[in-house]
Structure 1
Amino acid sequence: MEANDEEIEALRRRAYGPAPDLHDDPVAWRRLRDLEGAKKLAQAPPQPEATPLAVAEHPAPPTAADTDPRTDPVEQAPSRPLRLYRATRRARRSSVLIGVGATLVATSVLAAVILVPRVQVDPFQAGARQVARLSLDSDFTTPAFFAGTDDVFGFEQFHGLRAVVSRTGFFAMSSDENDDCLSIYSEANMVAATSDSFSGQAVGGCAAGGFPAIVQFRPDAEGSPDELRSAFPAPAALQFVYDRTNREVVVFVAAG
């Protein structure tokens, strides 16, 4: 019994301790119920055994005491331990269900608190999935060919590509100076940051009011880095969205 007691205590800690995890293990739950039930029955007082009645050769006429159902030894057998055990099982099961429900609610609330500050930028393509969030690159040096543009921000490289955001850019079509423009080009094509020329292909797009700056293309397009082609073999499509609130460039991929 000592080994069973230790097992019961261990299972109870998993069920009702500060970090309950027993609700994920149905086999352990059944084991705990079986052990607790066996322990309850073992601790219950022994039930008196009914004394067998001797059959006389000429039985005497039954007396009032013999026919009174209140004196029937079978009816007088105590059933309180069994009722107590069943009630305990029902109460424990209800407590577990309430505890699991409270845990799920708490987890949902915590997840909501964590996710609220990071607003998801949704792609326009159904079925697209997010593959990266590019943060600002503190080591980025503004190339000279961005001369004349304001507030130039470089982001982390993505498989050989560089994302740059500026208030005005090569692809600006808006007269509003507050509209951000997103440019994507191959880092290998930039000969030197001091050069005012650029040899290679670049793609881009600008924001328009409440619409974010978006650039989208196929990774197997002419001039794409080999690293990008290997990471996203055709058919595929990439979409870069500038999340101005969090100062990040969000990358999505979808089937081409």
Structure 2
Amino acid sequence: MPRIDDDDDELATLRRRAFAPGADISADPAAVERLIELEQRARDALAGDKSHPPRGGEPDPVAVDAPDDAEATEDDGEIARPRRRMPRVRRSTAVLLAGAALTVATLLTALVIVQRVQTDPLQVGATQVARLAPDPPFEIPTSLYRGITGNVKAYAAFEGFRPVTYPSFRAGEGAARCMTVYQPDLFDESEDGYGYEGQFLLPSCAAGLFPATFTILLTEDTPERAATTLPADTALQFVYDEDLDEVVVFRG
């Protein structure tokens, strides 16, 4: 079994991944489960310390009030026994326990949020890594939706990519929405049209139960990879979640 010191170091590392700037633990279910396990182990250890007296003269980690009448006194030949109060948990210990409970609750909530969309239905090993919300201030090149009016939306950027959704050319209620994912740095718009120096610039429209989807493999020579921090041969899939009006990003 790992030593307690090792568990403490691992717990501190996982807490930083959960709450420090740039936290990434929500994309790592195994790390989340490990953090929950270590938090539970820490609480069990504290409970065990309170139920067993310290050995070998070591100080009890739980603070207790000094007993009243610490020195026995004599009264009419009888020895008065000192009165002792029940142990009182330090405020810092209580805060630690509350914080551990909050950590577990927060991470469980994060797991629910990450799994709002069914991921990896074919069990090929893809992982949901981001959800992109609408970004109204972003200016969308008109060339991307020429001939379409109204309800055109841009979404937050991910690794240099910008998703854009818009109504399809089919009229009528329930018409499917379409999506184009591109990198603005590779897009050049002019009066005569536009140019794109990347490899992929294809629209995708929803069809029945199937949402609009864009998939790309970033090879060593793919122009789009230069604007990312991703290694070669990383596959990305962008899926439009119409119910929540978000674009979900998967990595494989």
TM-score interval w.r.t. the shorter chain?
0.5 to 0.7
Which has the larger strand fraction?
2
Match of 2:116 among 96, 120, 143: 120
Name the counterpart of 1:248.
Answer: 246
Q: How does 1:162-201 map to 2 (within 5 A)?
A: 162-168=162-168, 178-192=175-189, 194-199=191-196, 201=200
8 Å CA contact 1:136–1:154 kept in 2: the answer is yes
Shift of 1:182: 1.5
Match of 1:44 among 67, 70, 76: 70
Provide the C-alpha distance between the structure 2 equivalents of 1:127 and 1:119, rounded to a whole number of angstroms.
Answer: 13
Name the counterpart of 1:205.
Answer: 204
Which has the larger helix fraction?
1
8 Å CA contact 2:218–2:225 kept in 1: the answer is no
Shift of 1:77: 4.6
Provide the C-alpha distance between the structure 2 equivalents of 1:216 and 1:208, rounded to a whole number of angstroms.
Answer: 16
Deviations 1:129-175 (A, max 9, x none): 41462532423134235222353222344444332111217xx9x99
> Closer, same or farther in 2 for the Cα pair 1:194/1:40, shift >3 Å?
farther
8 Å CA contact 1:137–1:156 kept in 2: the answer is no
Provide the C-alpha distance between the structure 2 equivalents of 1:139 and 1:96, rounded to a whole number of angstroms.
Answer: 47
SS of 1:144's equivalent in the other structure is helix
Provide the C-alpha distance between the structure 1 equivalents of 2:251 and 2:235, rounded to a whole number of angstroms.
Answer: 6
2:246 maps to amino acid:
E
Provide the C-alpha distance between the structure 1 equivalents of 2:118 and 2:190, rounded to a whole number of angstroms.
Answer: 33
8 Å CA contact 2:220–2:232 kept in 1: the answer is no
> Closer, same or farther in 2 for the Cα pair 1:196/1:112, shift >3 Å?
same
Indicate the RMSD between aligned Cα atoms, in angstroms: 4.7
Name the counterpart of 2:234.
Answer: 236
SS of 1:225's equivalent in the other structure is helix
8 Å CA contact 1:118–1:246 kept in 2: the answer is no
Scaled by the length of structure 2, the TM-score of the pair is: 0.52
8 Å CA contact 1:218–1:238 kept in 2: the answer is yes
Shift of 1:232: 0.9
Provide the C-alpha distance between the structure 1 equivalents of 2:246 and 2:232, rounded to a whole number of angstroms.
Answer: 26
> Closer, same or farther in 2 for the Cα pair 1:128/1:195, shift >3 Å?
farther
8 Å CA contact 1:134–1:250 kept in 2: the answer is no
2:146 maps to amino acid:
A
8 Å CA contact 1:165–1:181 kept in 2: the answer is yes
Shift of 1:248: 2.9
> Closer, same or farther in 2 for the Cα pair 1:107/1:203, shift >3 Å?
same
1:214 maps to amino acid:
T
Provide the C-alpha distance between the structure 1 equivalents of 2:230 and 2:110, rounded to a whole number of angstroms.
Answer: 31
2:117 maps to amino acid:
V
SS of 1:227's equivalent in the other structure is helix
Provide the C-alpha distance between the structure 1 equivalents of 2:234 and 2:110, rounded to a whole number of angstroms.
Answer: 32
Shift of 1:190: 3.0
Name the counterpart of 2:129.
Answer: 130
Number of residue pairs the alignment of both structures matches = 190
Shift of 1:194: 4.4
Identity %: 19
Shift of 1:238: 0.9
Deviations 1:189-222 (A, max 9, x none): 4321644455553134332344432222212276
Unpaired runs of 5+ in structure 1? 1-22, 50-72
Scaled by the length of structure 1, the TM-score of the pair is: 0.52
SS of 2:138's equivalent in the other structure is coil
